[in-house]
């Protein structure tokens, strides 16, 4: 009896010690803390991704549960399709065009927001708004702005007498205007994120480096190209990587604004995959279209991250 | 004491236990006891005529549920979200008992139950359905009804009477040549163009097929063989190119499904092909322009006068649905009571079983909301000139993918915009169509 009474507190105490000990051991605590994030990525990103790979080598349709292995047939079939080649080209135009603009504009905005001026918080709020608002709602707003009948841009241009009273620019009906429109809306959407990332990078550059250059009489451009840009490169690469992946894989803007029109001139791989796989019912071919650029994106991601790591200043 | 103990035998204890097990949950969890009541879950679009949803969701299904001891729930989602939702339900093998598509959905054939018995029961009660319903829901290859269509929406020509009156056509165009000649004169005189979409959206898909079929062309023949590359298709593409150049503006390349509605009500186009949603909206929002917008029947082409359905209501029942029998009964009863739906929907949906609305002609010939009251009278013989996507064949899986991936829309648009010659545009569309047909043939659905 005595023995039992005496050992119980010892056991509880040893359990407490063990837990406290585990809690303080980094090799346990680290994995424990990161486990939910890894689980989330595995379930929400990893599982669908490997499922898509599996589907792309099969003959599955939306209406069938059985699937047979067909090898590379789907990849060969889509490449022989004119629509696919058009979409491939459009994807590059859309991604490269939008990312160039995002990089330039985000740099300009971040440099401006680094300065102190009255109402800075208000401008920061305005710039962040497109990122905070749901993308589908924001794009529907743009649909109205670019509408062929009620375009507020056309109304303004008419009021300013830049175009005639009966003239109308068909923003989503002429190929180059439509591509310009979707790039503009995509830039509007991604600019806040890129600006915030670059702003964080700019804030982390030690002030004394700029001060020393100032003493040596360096101009703005010299400051920018020889100090700011090299030190900003790791952060800018991350922003660019985010942007490139978004531009190559997202279809919200295109789906809402043009659905790939006029006559497929704004069709990108992501929207073509959706129309083929989900709306058209050919899941296997849709999966193949969506995975076509995966090797390229993987290579781009590795290259960007290596550049970012090499240019890190320690 | 001993005697009493003997009275309770082991068998009685088991009986009592079984009884307690049976009644217990009902006492402890009353909700679970009520769950024995049948349920029926319906998913359908947000109707273009909001009062229809009011009638269907709040009145009809409630009354039907009370009569059939079933708890009916209706979920309404936008038409654009139906495909993704169907894909989700199939993937999860769980969802609604009744799923309404607004177009023929043959690609889901393996996932749905055969509706043959529903058609047979409705035919026994109400006579034969129209050919359009069968062509939109039957697969002759597999001999299966992959859906059931109680109704469809006509796609008449909406025209501005005042503008066509100015060029000597006060009763509107009667043929596609009339649209071309009068449309050109109206555009020259007033600057107002014809408004037939050439974009990647449903109304364009319907309008372009209407012209193709009127010219004797089609994506396939009556036996389901691809027939796109023909002299008739070439003539139809050349006609649309001329129609665009002479009567329209590039804004038709940018349209979505509601753009022609907005443009017509804003007074910016002289003619459109659409359901009666244009006139119904105008009656409520712009009574003045409503008086000028009139309807006319299918326009004649070189071969025939033919029109398409604008919306084909096709109910499907998943194989994994929980209440298949209830869903089938609901459909049979819905068809029996369709006259109520016809009136609630303000004549938007027409019956696929004509005898269910015996006074249809009388109803549409005298509508107090219309200007004039007999505006919708032109639709009285729509059952004779409305046809299905894929005419003269059936709406099969290949036809569906060709429709959903805008192959025909792009063919006409490229030729009209001058980005390809009519011959090149047809050749490209034919290659895409052949590939799609071969694919679905290999899967055994075509």
Name chain A contacts of B405, Cβ cutoff 8 Å.
Answer: 83, 275-276, 279-280
Nearest to B250 among A61, A64, A170 (CB): A170
Q: What is the pTM of this model?
A: 0.84
> Quick count: other Cβ atoms within 10 Å of Cβ B85?
16
Please answer yes or no on whether A263 and B90 come within 8 Å at the CB atom. Answer: no
| Residues B116-155 pLDDT 10s | 999 999 999 999 999 999 999 999 999 999 999 999 999 9
Dihedral over Cα of A111, A113, A114, A116: its sign: positive
Distance of CA A58 to CAs A293, B192, B401, Å? 18, 51, 18
Beta bridge partners of B112: B318
Catalogue all structural domains in chain B, each as residue range(s) with its CATH number.
39-154+311-365 (3.40.190.10), 157-308+396-442 (3.40.190.10)
| Closest C-alpha among B44, B152, B129 to residue B389 | B152
Query: Tokens in use for A281?
Result: 């019912």
Mean pLDDT of all residues in chain B?
91
> What are the tens digits of pLDDT across the range A235-260?
888 888 888 988 888 899 999 999 99
Indicate the range of B105-114, B358-367, B435-444 predicted with least confidence. Answer: B435-444
**3-class secondary-structure state, position B76:** strand
Provide φ and ψ at A205, rounded to 5°. Answer: -75, 125
Contacts of A260 in chain B (CB under 8 A): 200, 406
On chain B, the residues whose CB falls within 8 A of the CB of A64 are 110-111, 443
Chain A positions with Cβ closer than 8 Å to B: 59, 61-65, 77, 80-83, 143, 147-150, 166, 168, 170-174, 178, 258-264, 275-276, 278-282, 285
Name the residue in chain B with its Cα closest to that of A282: B401
Half-sphere exposure (Cβ direction) of B18: Cα atoms closer than 13 Å: 6
Cβ neighbours of B253 in A, within 8 Å? 170, 172-174, 261-263
Distances (CA, A) of B83 to A63, B138, B312: 11, 20, 15
C-beta atoms of B404 and A275 within 8 A: yes
Please spell the DSSP secondary structure of B7-67, one letter per residue.
HS-HHHHHHHHHHHHHHHHHHH-HHHHHTTSEEEEEEEE--SSHHHHIIIIIIIHHHHHHH
Write out chain A residues lying below 8 Å of B237, CB-based.
none
From first to last of its 314 residues, what are the pLDDT tens digits of chain A?
444 444 555 555 555 656 667 667 778 888 888 999 999 999 988 998 999 999 999 999 888 877 889 999 999 989 888 889 999 999 999 999 999 999 999 999 999 998 888 888 888 888 888 888 888 889 999 999 998 878 899 999 999 999 988 788 999 999 999 999 999 999 999 999 999 999 999 988 888 888 898 888 888 888 888 888 888 888 888 888 888 988 888 899 999 999 998 999 999 999 999 999 988 889 999 999 999 888 888 988 898 888 878 776 65
Contact at CB, B401 and A280, closer than 8 angstroms: yes
**ipTM attached to this prediction:** 0.79
Of B268, B397, B413, the CB nearest to A263: B413
Minimum CA–CA partner of A77 in chain B: B435
Helix (H) or strand (E) holding A180: helix A175-203
Quick one: tokens of B46?
């947000």
A-B interface: how many C-beta pairs under 8 angstroms? 125
By CA distance, what is A178's nearest residue in B?
B254
Q: Which residue among B84, B254, B443 sits closest to A148, beta carbon to beta carbon?
A: B254
Cβ <8 Å between B110 and A259: no
Please list, residue by residue across A243-270, b when 16 or more beta carbons sit within 10 angstroms of its beta carbon and e when fewer do: bbebbbbbbbbbbbbbbbbbbbbbbbbb
């Amino acid at each position: 009896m005595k023995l039992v009474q005496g050992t119980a507190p010892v056991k509880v105490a040893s359990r407490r010690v063990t837990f406290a000990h585990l809690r303080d051991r980094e090799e346990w605590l680290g994995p424990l803390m990161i486990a939910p994030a890894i689980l989330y990525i595995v379930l929400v990103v990893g599982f669908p991704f490997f499922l898509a790979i599996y589907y792309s080598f099969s003959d599955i349709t939306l209406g069938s549960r059985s699937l047979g292995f067909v090898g590379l047939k789907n990849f060969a079939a889509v490449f022989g399709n004119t629509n696919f080649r058009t979409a491939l080209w459009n994807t590059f135009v859309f991604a490269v065009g939008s990312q160039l603009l995002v990089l330039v504009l985000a740099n300009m905005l971040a440099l401006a927001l680094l300065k102190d001026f009255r109402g800075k918080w208000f401008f920061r709020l305005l710039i962040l708004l497109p990122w905070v608002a749901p993308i589908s709602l924001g794009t529907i707003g743009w649909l109205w702005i670019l509408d062929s009948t009620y375009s507020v841009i056309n109304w303004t241009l008419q009021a300013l007498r830049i175009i005639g009273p009966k003239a109308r620019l068909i923003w989503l009906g002429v190929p180059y205007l439509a591509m310009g429109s979707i790039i503009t809306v995509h830039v509007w959407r991604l600019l806040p994120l890129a600006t915030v990332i670059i702003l964080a990078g700019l804030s982390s550059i030690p002030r004394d480096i700029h001060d020393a250059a100032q003493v040596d009489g360096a101009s703005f451009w010299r400051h920018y190209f020889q100090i700011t840009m090299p030190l900003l490169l790791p952060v800018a690469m991350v922003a660019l990587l985010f942007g490139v992946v978004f531009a190559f894989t997202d279809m919200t803007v295109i789906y809402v604004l043009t659905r790939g029109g006029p006559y497929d001139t704004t069709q990108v791989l992501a929207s073509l995959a959706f129309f083929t796989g989900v709306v058209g019912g050919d899941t296997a071919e849709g999966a193949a279209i969506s995975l076509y650029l995966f090797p390229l994106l993987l290579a781009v991601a590795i290259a960007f991250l290596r550049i970012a790591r090499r240019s890190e200043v320690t | 004491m001993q005697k009493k103990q003997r009275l309770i035998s082991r068998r009685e204890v088991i009986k009592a236990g079984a009884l307690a097990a049976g009644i217990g949950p009902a006492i402890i969890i009353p909700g679970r006891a009520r769950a024995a009541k049948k349920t029926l879950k319906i998913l359908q679009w947000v109707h273009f005529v909001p009062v229809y949803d009011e009638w269907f969701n709040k009145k009809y299904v409630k009354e039907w549920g009370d009569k059939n001891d079933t708890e009916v729930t209706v979920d309404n989602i936008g038409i654009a979200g139906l495909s993704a939702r169907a894909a989700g339900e199939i993937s999860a093998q769980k969802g609604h008992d009744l799923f309404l598509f607004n177009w023929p959905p043959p690609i889901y054939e393996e996932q749905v139950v055969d509706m043959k018995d529903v058609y047979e029961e409705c035919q026994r009660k109400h006579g034969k359905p129209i050919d359009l319903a069968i062509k939109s829901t039957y697969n002759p290859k597999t001999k299966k009804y992959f859906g059931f269509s109680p109704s469809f929406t006509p796609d008449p020509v909406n025209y501005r009477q005042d503008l066509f009156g100015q060029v000597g056509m006060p009763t509107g165009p009667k043929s596609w040549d009339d649209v071309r000649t009068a449309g050109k004169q109206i555009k020259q005189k007033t600057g107002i163009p014809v408004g037939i979409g050439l974009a990647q959206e449903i109304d364009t898909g319907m309008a372009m097929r209407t012209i193709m079929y009127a010219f004797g062309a089609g994506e396939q023949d009556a036996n389901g063989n691809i027939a796109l590359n023909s002299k008739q298709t070439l003539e139809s593409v050349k006609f649309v190119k001329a129609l665009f150049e002479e009567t329209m503006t590039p804004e038709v390349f940018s349209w979505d499904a509601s753009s022609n509605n907005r443009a017509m009500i804003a007074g910016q186009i002289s003619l459109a092909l659409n359901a009666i949603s244009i006139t119904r909206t105008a009656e409520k929002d712009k009574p003045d322009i409503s008086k000028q917008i009139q309807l006319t029947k299918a326009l004649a082409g070189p071969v025939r006068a033919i029109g398409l359905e604008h919306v084909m209501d096709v109910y499907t029942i998943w194989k994994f649905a929980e209440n298949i029998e209830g869903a089938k009964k609901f459909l049979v009863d819905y068809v029996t009571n369709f006259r109520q739906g016809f009136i609630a929907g303000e004549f938007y949906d027409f019956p696929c079983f004509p005898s269910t609305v015996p006074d249809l002609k009388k109803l549409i010939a005298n509508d107090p909301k219309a200007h004039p009251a007999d505006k919708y009278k032109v639709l009285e013989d729509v059952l004779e000139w409305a046809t299905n996507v894929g005419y003269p064949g059936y709406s099969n899986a290949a036809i569906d993918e060709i429709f959903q991936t805008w192959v025909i829309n792009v063919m006409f648009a490229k030729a009209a915009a001058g980005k390809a010659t009519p011959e090149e545009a047809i050749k490209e569309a034919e290659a895409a169509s052949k590939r799609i047909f071969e694919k679905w043939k290999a899967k055994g659905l075509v």
